[in-house]
Amino acid sequence: MWMALLSACAPEPKPAELPRPDPTTEAWYPQAIGELVEMNRQAEDLFQKGKFEEAATLVGKGQPLEERLLGAPRPTLAAMEASSDLDDLYGRMLMRNRHYSWARSFFQKNAIRWKVWKPQTAETERRRQTALAAIAECDKHPVE
C-alpha cells in the first residue's frame, strides 16, 4: 500500500525528446553561406584597397551569419570555410591595427577548426598551416 502512495507522488515521466532538425538541410542555410561568402569577398576587396573602415563594417555584419551557421550541430564544409575566411580577415585587420593578442585568438580558432575537421584534405591542412603561420607572426610582436 505504501508503494502505491509513494508512486502516486512521483513526477510524470518526461516525454521522449524529438530529434532537433538539422539546419544544414534547411533552405536558409546555403543562402546564408552564400551571403557570408559574398560579404567576405567584398570585405577582402575593400581591405586590399585600403578601405579599412568599410571592410570592418562588412566583417561586423558577417559575424551574426557566422554564428548562425556554426550553430548547427554539424556545420558543412562550405560554412566552415566561409567562417574561416571571415575570421582570417578579421585577424589580419586586427594585426594591421597592432592588436596582436586579439588577432592571435582568431587565428588560433582557425588552427583548431582545421585541426579537428574530418576528413582532412590538402585544403584543410593548407588552411591550418596558414593559421599557424599567422599565429607565429603575431607572436613576434609584443602585446600592446
79 phi and psi, to 5 degrees?
-65, -40
Architecture of domain 26-139: Alpha Horseshoe (1.25)
79 pLDDT band, cuts 50/70/90, is very high
32 pLDDT band, cuts 50/70/90, is very high
Residue 8 has pLDDT above 70, yes or no: no
- Calpha distance 138→14 (Å, rounded): 51
Residue 3 has pLDDT above 80, yes or no: no
Domain ranges of the chain: 26-139
Grouping H, G, I as helix, E, B as strand and the rest as coil, residue 99 is coil
Residue 122 identity: A
- Work out the percent of the chain whose per-residue pLDDT is above 90: 83
Half-sphere exposure of 43 (CA within 13 A, CB side): 26
Mean pLDDT within 98-114 = 97
19 pLDDT band, cuts 50/70/90, is confident
Q: pTM here?
A: 0.84
